[in-house]
Amino acid sequence: AILTYFGQFIDHDITLNTDTDPASLPDFSVAPDDGKLVLNDRAHVKANIRNGRNPTLSLDSVYGDQSDREELLRDGARMRIGETDQGTPEDLPRFKAVAPDRIDDVDIFASTAFIADGRNDENLIVAQLHLAFLRFHNAVVDHLDAAEHHLDPDRKFARARDLTTLHYQWLVANVYLPAICDQRALDGVWQTGADRHRNFVESGSGQIPYEFSVAAFRFGHSMIRPEYVFNANFGPDGRLGPATLREMFAFTGGENSAFAEDAKLPKVWVIDWSNFLVSDDDARTARPTDTSLADGLDRLDVTIDALRVLPVRNLRRSYVLNIPTAQSVQAEVDAVPLSDKELRGFGNGLLADLGYLENTPLWLYILLEAELRAGGKTLGPMGSTLVAEVLIGLLFQDKNSILHRGTGKAASWVPSDAGLGGSPIDSFEKFLRFAGVM
C-alpha cells in the first residue's frame, strides 16, 4: 500500500498546477450557462499553463524552492520536526510552533503544516511519509556528526540533502517503477535512455507532458483503499476498527482539521509502516490498478457538486485541457492496443454508446489496459511506457541525478556508495528504519 502514497509524493515533487491556470483558461470546474465545457486549443494550453514545481526528482517539495519559508524549514543542519500530543517527534512541524505570527493569514491555521509543499499534509499517510523524509535527513546528519564532524552546519545540511535525494531517486528507479510497471515496457525505456522524453524536452515542449500529469500518473487513484489497517489502534484487532479515508483527511492540518485547536497529531494516529509494506494480505495491500475506485471517492468533500466524483474531475480536466486520446498516444507507443471487443466490454457497452471507441479518454484507457493486460497487478504496456518515460527521463535530464553520479567505473550511484554504515538502504523498509519511523 505504500506504493499508492509514494506515487502521490512523487507527483507533488515534480508537478504543481499543471492542469489549471484560472487567469488565462476557463475554470474546468464550472461549465458556461449553456452547460458545455470549453475545449481549449492545445497551443493555448501549452502557452498558458506552467509547472509550479522544479520538474526534477530533487525533493524541492521537502527542502523548498527559495521561498521565504525555506530558511525556517530547517534548524542548522537538521530539518524541523513536529511533536504529537504526547511529545514524541512523530508529526510534521506546524505553524503554531514554527511561525505563530502568521496564523490567521489566508488559509493558514494553527494546525497547518509548516512544510515546503502543503499538499503533503492533505492526507495522513502522505503526511507521515513526508515526515519520514525529514527524519531520514536528520538521521543522515546524525551520521555526519560522527563521521564528518568537521563540516559546518550549512555544508552538513547540503551533504545530508544530497544523500537523502540520491536515496529517493534510487527508490523511484529501482523499487517503485519495477513494482508498478510492465517489466518489458520498463526495460524498453531503460534501453533507449527514455528517448521519447528526451525528444519531448528538446522540442521545447517542457519537461512534464500533460499526458503524464493529467492522465497517466493519476492511475494511483484506483489503488486507494476505502480503509486501512493503520496501526494497533485502527485495524482488525484494534478497538476502533480500520482507519477510513475520511479519517485520513481529518487528521491533517487546515480548516477542517480534527486537531486544529492544539495543532498536534494525537499519538494514537502515528502510522505503523509495517502494515503498508506487506504484499500478501488483501486487507493491507493497495487496490488493483483497474477501472474500479474505492467507495468514498465518489463523495469528495468539495463545494462544487460536479466535482465530488473523482473520475468526473479527471475526465473533465482531460477534456478541457485537450489531452490526446488514447488512440492518438497508442500510435506512438510500442504496445498492442486494446481490441474493439475489449473496449466495448467496459461498462456494458458504455464507450460504444457514447462514441468513444475510437476516441477513448486516456486516463480511463490506461486503467482498463492495466485491468485487462496485467490483471491490475501493474500498469499495462502503454501506461507503463508513459510513466517510465517521464520518471526515468527526468533522471537522465538531471546531471546531478543518480544516473550521473557513480563512483569508480560505475556510471550510476547506488546506495552502497552512501557510506552510511550497515547494509545499503535499498528498500522502503530500510529507508523507513534508517529514518527511525519504523
Window from 59-68, 88-97, 150-159 with minimum mean pLDDT: 59-68
What are residue 84's DSSP bridge partners?
265
What grid cell was written down for 428? 522502503
pLDDT tens sequence across 163-191? 999 999 999 999 999 999 999 999 999 99
Among residues 131, 132, 138, which one has the least CA distance to residue 92?
131
Q: Does the pLDDT value for residue 272 go beyond 90?
A: yes
Fill in the amino acid letter for 108.
Answer: I
Greater confidence (391 vs 241) lies with: 391
Is the model more confident about 49 or about 34? 49
Strands (E), 224-290: 227-228, 243-244
pLDDT of residue 302: 60
- CA 343/CA 95 separation, integer angstroms: 50
- When pLDDT is averaged across residues 326-330 and rounded to a whole number, the result is 95
Residue 21: pLDDT band (50, 70, 90) is very low
The span from the CA of 368 to the CA of 388, in Å, is 18
Amino acid at 267: K
Distance from C-alpha of 255 to C-alpha of 106, rounded to nearest angstrom: 11
CB 111 within 8 A of CB 253: yes
Confidence category of residue 401, pLDDT binned at 50, 70, 90: very high
CB 64 within 8 A of CB 70: yes
Helix, strand, or coil (residue 116): coil
pLDDT at 242 over 80: yes
pLDDT one-digit tens code per residue, 119-146: 999 999 999 999 999 999 999 999 999 9
How high is the pLDDT of residue 22? 42
Tell me the pLDDT tens digit for each residue of 139-158.
999 999 998 888 899 999 99
Residues 357 and 344: beta-carbon distance below 8 Å? yes
Which pLDDT score is estimated for 66? 61
Q: How many helices (H) and strands (E) does the chain have?
A: 18, 4
Q: 397, 198 in Cβ contact below 8 A?
A: yes
Quick one: pLDDT band at residue 367, thresholds 50, 70, 90? very high
pTM of the shown model: 0.94
- In angstroms, the CA 2 to CA 358 distance is 35
**What CA–CA distance (Å, rounded) separates 350 from 53?**
37
**What is the per-residue pLDDT for 44?**
80
Query: pLDDT band at residue 339, thresholds of 50, 70 and 90?
Result: very high
Round the average pLDDT of the chain to a whole number and report it.
Answer: 89
23 pLDDT higher than 60: no
Q: Find cell 474493439 and name the residue.
A: 340
pLDDT at 148: 83
Element (H, E) at 125: helix 124-147
Which residues have CB under 8 Å from 382's CB, separation 6+? 185, 326, 329, 330, 333, 335, 337, 365, 366, 369
- pLDDT of the residue at 24: 46
Number of other CB atoms surrounding residue 64 within 10 Å: 18
Buried b (16+ CB within 10 A) or exposed e, 138-157: bbbbebbeeeeeebeeeebb
CA distance 116 to 159: 19
